[in-house]
Structure 1
Amino acid sequence: MRRVTRRGVLAGIGWAGGLAGVGSGRGRARTDRRTVTVATRNCYLGGDLFDLFAAAAGDETIQSAVTDLVAAVDRSRVGRRLDAIAGELSRTEPDLVGIQEAALIRSGPRSDGTTPTATDVRYDFRERLLSALDARDLPYRVVATTEPADVQLPATVEGEPRDVRLTDRDLILAHERVATDGTTTGTFDAGLSLSVDDRTVAVDRGYEVVEASVGDLAVTFCNTHLESASAEVRAAQAAELRDRLVDRAGPVVLVGDCNSGPGGSTAAYDHLTADFGDAAGDAGVGATCCHAADLRNADPSLDARIDHVLVGDRLRVADATRVGADPTERIAADGERLWPSDHAGVVATLVPADPTTASPTPSPTERETEAGTEAGTTPTVTGTESDADAPGFGVVATVVSVVAAATVAARRHDD
């Protein structure tokens, strides 16, 4: 694989101008029975993935990288950050929320690493977020979950040799006023496959779909987190997801961290927007990625729009805004100020589109002309360096980077 920096991973994403969102998206009592407010929020693992490839050869490469990762997560003040995200939901009170990187981090005795066995919970992002919501009397429930990645690696935790188990999770939350049914979850056919010695490590991504009724409006709501470490895999996942959603009979809403956005080489975004409108883009919502890896930058450093609210032609955006993009939203921790996540979130209120002005759905022939790899393939990532050479890409990219670093070290040792 070629050497790619964060800018390379997000090549051509398009740098969104302006930092101000449109509208307020404020929490409200349900008065209009024909609107739905949705949100997407990446909670961010909290780790910095720089300099993995500078590690020394041997098993200590992995151990040192994971040890540093755990320390970085500790410094990111997970509990305070998730409290802040609960506060965002309190202010905006969306009906449906797509959550990415609701990680579960566990530790346990050293093992052979072939099967994840660690059970001692260090951080449970999902339960911590739910507790923070409950403390605010916010009646949200988890209606769908995927766990696309679950990997255990050696580390040193509080001076002791331990294994650390990283489990990636994405969620859909629904407010109590929302009725849900027909939940579907899955992993994409397209995924990363990395070879380390005689072991193949599969790194997957997933999606969750729920049928929801908000007042008199019924929608299909989908949440996803597309691959960050390979543009080829990301495009294939987007094509697969588009094909799963495009023939749904009713209004469709797709939210998530797509790691792709307007402008330049954007096969994943183009696959999706061939059939779905960019509601947040139409509303002028600004960039969503990324703050500094340690979350301590004083001013916003968002310069790419990769977190999206996409809608079928039966819906249009009435109002949209960002959260986590204003310095006043930073949390106080040990005399410092931290952003809740390295991403900003997006909240959008949607209404039925006028059927006389709804945009037509492109024909299958038109859709197939979009750039990128078709769904159903499983690209294999090989070589000596990882595409995920940057923080902010979550549990999956952490695993990719650590495993790839180990590969580099082993090859250098052989040389």
Structure 2
Amino acid sequence: MTRAPRHRVLLGLLATALALGTALVPSASVHAGPPGAGHGTPARTATVMTRNLYLGADLSPILLALASGNDAAIVGAATQTWAAVQATRPEERMGAIADEIVAADADAVGLQEVTTWTTYAYNPVNGTTSNPTIAYDFLDLLLDALEERGADYREVAGATADNFSSPPIPYLASPTATFPTRAVSLADRDVIIVRDDVDATNARTGTYQTIISFPVDGALLPVARGWGSADLSVGKATFRFVNSHLEAFGVPGVDGEQVRVAQVGELLAAQAALTTQLGALPMVYVGDYNSDAPDAPAYVRLLAGVGADAWTSSHPGDPGFTCCLGATLTDPDNPLTSRIDLVLHSDDVKAPRATIIGDDPSEMTASGLWPSDHAGVVARLVIPARRGQ
């Protein structure tokens, strides 16, 4: 999520209102060049990456329509939102992100906003839907694009955090339509993918207990967030890899940053419990943490609990902005103003190189789109040997 109020707050509001049953309901010398070094990397090194894929639209029209309760407004807003998603060309963007992964030769990637958009036939007489068809599954699009480029990656089963989803919302199928005959829904998740030669074990996932809830029609509607982790072996390098997407916003009377602070506490506690259960390993945390480095409280707590920040280790004094681009992904230049996409690691891990990707206009797609509304971070890590190695 972005920290810009428009994108962050509206996405969260829509997630809550829809998921619980609404009826309609980066400069060139610093950033350029991949940090990976091919499949013959030295022993006990690994290249990791974090990438928010961006769900594909500004959700403010549908949010405002849902708040109004006006059926015609809801249909109009859904029509506008679905058109915007298609205009951001998910297949093309996933191809660009596949190019980034291939260029980095990433061993493991933490993905956020891995969205599935599904369309349906809609009966305007009784409000029922049928014939669901997946229009865009961002994970499938990305994995297919990687395979087309000769790069074999897979989802780490058991490490995917399923976040919010919406019911089908009716929309107009054509500009001349006067009533809706189609509907669309979305589902969001966070996914870890690894190259096929990377061994992944002990996959886990969890959901945060501290969440944002919104008052809607006299009820409090919560929105869930979670994390996924797995033990990865890259050659002789073995480490625990954690991916998460913290809450993106606040509501009146609730400080969103304090929610994120609490979620960080839950994340660290969950990983401590895994250490007790599975044994200690070097730790690597990636994700969209929605807390501005270097001073925001959730970032400070996370850094203290994990150990070190791969970006600041190799670029002291460089702000390393990763967020955020406009909703249409057509900004002519780079307007990034905050750093919320992170690669953190325990103190026994070293990060000799980190790179920001997706922040230079030369990386835009053939249609003139940024690959995402976030930049990504790639880090080359040196992992300490385990006892007996």
Smaller-chain TM-score bracket? 0.7 to 0.9
Select 2:204's aligned residue among 176, 180, 184. 184
1:152 and 1:163 in contact (8 A); partners too:
no
SS in 2 for 1:105: strand
| Equivalent in the alignment of 1:243 | 269
Percent identical across equivalent pairs?
A: 37
Q: CA deviation at 1:59?
A: 3.1
The yes-or-no answer on 1:156 pairing with 2:156 is no
| Equivalent in the alignment of 2:143 | 130
Amino acid at match of 2:301: H
The yes-or-no answer on 1:257 pairing with 2:257 is no
Amino acid at match of 1:75: A
1:63 and 1:154 in contact (8 A); partners too:
yes
Select 2:190's aligned residue among 161, 170, 177. 170
Gaps of 5+ in 1: 10-15, 356-415
| Equivalent in the alignment of 1:376 | none
CA 1:45–1:7 in 2, change beyond 3 Å: closer, same or farther?
Answer: closer
Instruction: For 2:261 and 2:98, locate their aligned partners in 1 and report how far apart those are by CA, in whole Å.
Output: 32
Select 2:322's aligned residue among 288, 294, 297. 288
1:224 and 1:256 in contact (8 A); partners too:
yes
Instruction: For 1:64 and 1:234, locate their aligned partners in 2 and report how far apart those are by CA, in whole Å.
Output: 34
1:331-342 counterparts in 2 under 5 A?
Answer: 331-333=365-367, 337-342=368-373
The yes-or-no answer on 1:272 pairing with 2:285 is no
| Equivalent in the alignment of 1:383 | none
1:98 and 1:170 in contact (8 A); partners too:
yes
Instruction: For 1:102 and 1:53, locate their aligned partners in 2 and report how far apart those are by CA, in whole Å.
Output: 21
Render the CA deviation track for 1:295-319: whole Å, top value 9, x for unaligned.
1111111111100001112212111
The yes-or-no answer on 1:29 pairing with 2:39 is yes
SS in 1 for 2:190: strand
Amino acid at match of 1:268: A
| Equivalent in the alignment of 1:326 | 360
1:190 and 1:236 in contact (8 A); partners too:
yes
1:2-401 counterparts in 2 under 5 A?
Answer: 5-6=5-6, 20-21=30-31, 24-50=34-60, 55=65, 57-110=69-122, 119-143=132-156, 144-159=159-174, 160-197=180-217, 201-230=221-250, 231=256, 232-246=258-272, 248=275, 249-264=280-295, 266-276=296-306, 277-284=308-315, 286-333=320-367, 337-352=368-383
SS in 2 for 1:331: coil
Amino acid at match of 1:139: D
SS in 2 for 1:104: strand
| Equivalent in the alignment of 1:387 | none
Q: CA deviation at 1:278?
A: 1.2
1:22 and 1:319 in contact (8 A); partners too:
no
TM normalised by structure 2 equals: 0.80
Note the aligned Cα RMSD (angstroms): 3.0
Q: Structure with the greater relative contact order (CA < 8 A, sep ≥ 6): 1 or 2?
A: 1
CA 1:350–1:302 in 2, change beyond 3 Å: closer, same or farther?
Answer: same
Moved more, 159-168 or 198-207: 198-207
Render the CA deviation track for 1:234-276: whole Å, top value 9, x for unaligned.
2221221122224631101000001112245x22212211122
1:23 and 1:320 in contact (8 A); partners too:
no
1:99 and 1:171 in contact (8 A); partners too:
yes
2:75 and 2:172 in contact (8 A); partners too:
no
Amino acid at match of 1:288: T
Amino acid at match of 2:227: Y
Number of equivalenced pairs: 342
Q: CA deviation at 1:6?
A: 4.9
2:161 and 2:228 in contact (8 A); partners too:
yes
1:23 and 1:319 in contact (8 A); partners too:
no
1:27 and 1:94 in contact (8 A); partners too:
no
Q: CA deviation at 1:181?
A: 0.6
Gaps of 5+ in 2: 10-25, 175-179, 251-255
TM normalised by structure 1 equals: 0.75
Q: CA deviation at 1:47?
A: 0.4
